[in-house]
Structure 1
Amino acid sequence: MDESLHTIIVDCDGVIADKNNGGNYADAGPLQHGIDQVNKLYDMGYTITLFTARYGDRENGNIHRQYERGYVEWINWLKRHGVKYHHAYMG
């Protein structure tokens, strides 16, 4: 499968993670239907690219600190909830 033609880009909050958690991203609840759909597409051979703007309003706009603080937390959340993906980007 040509990756460029079969890539699905998925936003995290509101699609696979409950965004109504008061900004406590580590404890955000999973949106299981969204996770199931992402995992199904992954299993079908699609390239799954996850994206989030989490932490964009934190660390006084310092993107490096936002990334340091948030990336590991986000990846751990994805693992904890069994989300299958190829790439994960913050921005």
Structure 2
Amino acid sequence: MELEFKNNESPVLKDGIKNYLIDIDGTITDDVPNEQPERMETCLPFPDALATLNKWFDQGHQICFFTSRTEAHREVTENWLKKHGFKYHSLLMGKPRGGNYHWIDNHIVRATRYEGKFTDLVESDAKIEVFKK
């Protein structure tokens, strides 16, 4: 793992290492709502997601899954990730449901909308909202 701890503070990523925060449902597999966790038994990962995320993990990047699944679904979620061979560092449960997120942070936040296929990321100019000066 490429984390550096100093004085019991939060880890600092080394230069060149990215911290990927990745949704599960509808992004790496079918969209399985909290109300239908039994569907996790039969849904398969999107092949390009598995290969790409494991490649990023092997390159030393941090992989954190962030899902609107509740804590009650942690075990089935972890079992599904393990069954299909996803490599990851952490799993955050309880993301707000919906999709109109507006993340405000004092650090640079980069967002990439999943549109049906995982590939290598490329740079692109995009319109963003910023605080009025």
Structure 2: 5+ residue runs without aligned partners? 3-11, 95-133
Task: Determine the C-alpha separation between the residues in 1 that align with 2:41 and 2:92.
Answer: 17
Task: Determine the C-alpha separation between the residues in 1 that align with 2:86 and 2:47.
Answer: 10
Larger radius of gyration: 2
Structure 1: 5+ residue runs without aligned partners? 55-65
TM-score by length of 1: 0.73
The alignment partner of 1:29 has SS state of: coil
Task: Please identify which structure carries the higher helix content.
Answer: 1
Q: 1:13 offset after TM fit, Å?
A: 1.1
Could you tell me the percent identity over the aligned residues?
A: 32
Q: 1:17 offset after TM fit, Å?
A: 1.4
Q: 1:16 maps to which residue?
A: 28
Q: 1:7 maps to which residue?
A: 19
Q: 1:15 offset after TM fit, Å?
A: 1.8
The alignment partner of 1:77 has SS state of: helix
Confirm whether residue 89 of structure 1 aligns to residue 97 of structure 2: no
CA-based RMSD = 2.3
Following TM superposition, the consecutive aligned residue runs of length 4 or more in structure 1 with deviations greater than 6 angstroms are none
TM-score by length of 2: 0.52
Structure with greater contact order relative to length (CA < 8 Å, sep ≥ 6)? 1
Equivalent pairs, count: 79
